[in-house]
Amino acid sequence: MSTANPPSAERLEAARDALGRIEQAVNRAVIGQRQVVREVVVALAAAGHVLLEGLPGMGKTLLVRALAQALGGRFARVQFTPDLMPADITGHAVFDMKSEAFHIRRGPIFCNVLLGDEINRAPAKTQAAMLEAMQEQQVTVEGQSLALAPPFVVLATQNPIEQEGTYPLPLAQLDRFLLKSYIDYPGADDELTVVRTVTAGAVGDALDVSAVERVLEPEQVLAVQATAAALTLDDAVLDYALRLVRATRDWQGLDSGAGTRAAVALVRAARGHALLAGQSFVSPDDVKAMAPAVLRHRVRLGAELEIEGYRPDDVLTELLAAVDAPRA
């Protein structure tokens, strides 16, 4: 399988340059999380949503705000709480006494970059309100379908430790996220830089993203996404991606494997990764590099492995080492 109109060298270079600038800009604000920043930029190129998991105070919100600042689009943040209602996100109809008619008041979801903070603190009904927006890029309010302005990216965060009073995301909801990224502790040097930078002349602990310059317009993001979608994809690479996804279904230690949407997501993410590397085609390296982030939230570990303290990444590492890469 190949694309009918592969992107020209100029278009490819422009897209790679745009992604590189976004990555650089976000890395200026979020120090010591290069892998996560790269995955978020890949998701942006692939027009996908990201679930960020990490302990409090690791820079999740800062990352999303820096990305929104770099994109120049509209940014909105929703703090998920147990009493949050779907209408608080999507919007609702209000009666205008003057015109004696109902008007739609759009919720925060009408933006380009949405930060869903601690998404697992809201009940399933509220979480499900985002399904339509994430999958179909539209919202239905009072029976009226309203399209979301592209680009639309959801970056949701959740805390892996505090499970009390949370509602774990159902698999159907998790599947809508293109990637799941772990934000781990930064290295000692990076942490020193963070503390020094943040405390130098700062009052309070407000997030400072003023250092992040606006490098792209929303329209340019759409062009980048179109370029990524046009990269050449050979059948052997597609087959490799599929074999990786199918392997999760027959893998000992996994109760459930990834679905077909995972294969689609893996190819999309690989395209984004290839574009970020400046390639005009997708290689098995791109697929393999993105497989953990794409698959880790789409597989479910067996009880035995969970008790033994395994994480999905441990199993996926073994799986990646067992599936043959294309050779011819």
Partner 1 sequence: MTISARPRSPWESMDLGFALARTWLGRLWLCWWLAAAPVALLSLPVLHQRPDLWLLLLWWCKPAFEAVTLFWLSRAVFGEQPGLGATARSLPQALPPRLWPQLLWRRIGMGRSFSMPVTLLEAPRGAARRQRLQVLGTGAAGWLTLVCVHLEAILWLSGVLLLAFLVPAGLPAPDLQAAFTETGSAPYWAANLLVVLAMSVVAPFYVAAGFALYLGRRTELEAWDLELAFRRRHAAPRGPRARAIAAAMLLTALLLPGTGAAAAMTPAEAKARIEAILAQPDFGGTREERVWVYVGDDSASSADDDGATALPAWLIQGLATLAKWVLVIATAWALIVLTLHLLREFGGPRRRGRRPTSTGPPGPVAQTSAPAEPLPANVPAAVHELLAARDVRGALGLLYRAQVAQLRARGLELADSATESECLRAARARTEPQALTRLERTVRLWQAVAYGHQPVDTDSVAALTRASDSASADDGHG
Q: Which residues bind partner 1 (CB under 8 A)?
A: 2, 6, 232, 234-237, 239-240, 242-243, 246-247, 249-253, 279-285, 288, 308, 315, 318, 320-328
Shortest distance (Å) from residue 324 CB to partner 1: 4
Task: Concatenate the DSSP letters of all residues of 273-288 into one string.
Answer: HHHHTT-SEE-HHHHH
Shortest distance (Å) from residue 19 CB to partner 1: 19
Shortest distance (Å) from residue 264 CB to partner 1: 14
Beta bridge partners of 50: 155, 179
Shortest distance (Å) from residue 8 CB to partner 1: 13
Shortest distance (Å) from residue 248 CB to partner 1: 8
* Dihedral sign from CA coordinates of 226, 228, 232, 234: negative
Shortest distance (Å) from residue 174 CB to partner 1: 22
Taking the CB of residue 32, how many other CB atoms lie within 10 A of it? Answer: 22
Nearer of residues 184 and 285 to partner 1, judged by Cβ? 285
Nearer of residues 67 and 294 to partner 1, judged by Cβ? 294
Shortest distance (Å) from residue 160 CB to partner 1: 19
Contact 15/275 with Cβ under 8 angstroms? Answer: yes
The whole-angstrom separation of Cα 219 and Cα 37 is 21
The whole-angstrom separation of Cα 1 and Cα 17 is 27
Strands 300-301 and 254-256: antiparallel
Contact 240/326 with Cβ under 8 angstroms? Answer: yes
Nearer of residues 97 and 161 to partner 1, judged by Cβ? 161
The whole-angstrom separation of Cα 202 and Cα 30 is 16
Long-range contacts of 284-288 (CB under 8 A, 24+ apart): 284/236, 284/237, 284/240, 284/325, 284/326, 286/237, 287/237, 287/240, 287/241, 287/244, 288/244, 288/320, 288/325
Taking the CB of residue 163, how many other CB atoms lie within 10 A of it? Answer: 9
- One-letter amino acid at 63 equals L
Nearer of residues 136 and 255 to partner 1, judged by Cβ? 255
Contact 231/274 with Cβ under 8 angstroms? Answer: yes
Shortest distance (Å) from residue 285 CB to partner 1: 5
Nearer of residues 25 and 244 to partner 1, judged by Cβ? 244
